[in-house]
Amino acid sequence: MKFLKSSRGEATIDATTVLLASLVVIAVFLFHLYPVFLAKQDLNTYAQELCRTAEISGRVGQETTDRERELTDNTGLSPKIEWSDTGKIQLGDTVAVTCTVTKNIGLFAGLGSIPIPISAKASGRSEVYWKK
């Protein structure tokens, strides 16, 4: 059996194989990171909606708790929520909320799981005047 003495075209096949393998690795990596980016976007909306509810109602209380429950049902997120103030918030006073959740990225059925904390902040001003 004769062996080929010329290796023309071998570099093209090697380069194509390396490129294909690289693209597969990048695709798997992005596939596991994509849910984290979606969670960050959902958490930003979550914080903004909670803050807007506090602005409109003029307090951190039953309205914000109800909205929190509704947002948790809609997004599937259940973040740790911290308010800058609680109770009634006077007209023009600032209220801020920080929502924090941890997402795990792992490769192939949880191997090498890496927890990534995600947080979102929102702030606004109360739109309600409370008589003293």
pLDDT band of 114, cuts 50, 70, 90: confident
Q: How many CB atoms lie within 10 A of CB 92?
A: 10
pLDDT digits (tens, 9 = 90+) for 20-59: 999 988 887 777 788 888 999 999 999 999 999 999 999 9
Q: Would you state the pLDDT for residue 4?
A: 56
Query: Which range is least confidently modeled, 45-49, 83-87, 103-107, 124-128?
Result: 103-107
Q: What is the pTM of this model?
A: 0.78
What are the residue ranges spanned by the domains of the chain? 37-125
Q: Would you state the pLDDT for residue 90?
A: 93
104: which strand partners?
115
Q: Would you state the pLDDT for residue 36?
A: 87
Q: Residue holding tokens 């191997």?
A: 111
Structure tokens at 61: 């209380």
Residue 64 · residue 111 · CB < 8 Å: no
Q: Would you state the pLDDT for residue 2?
A: 57
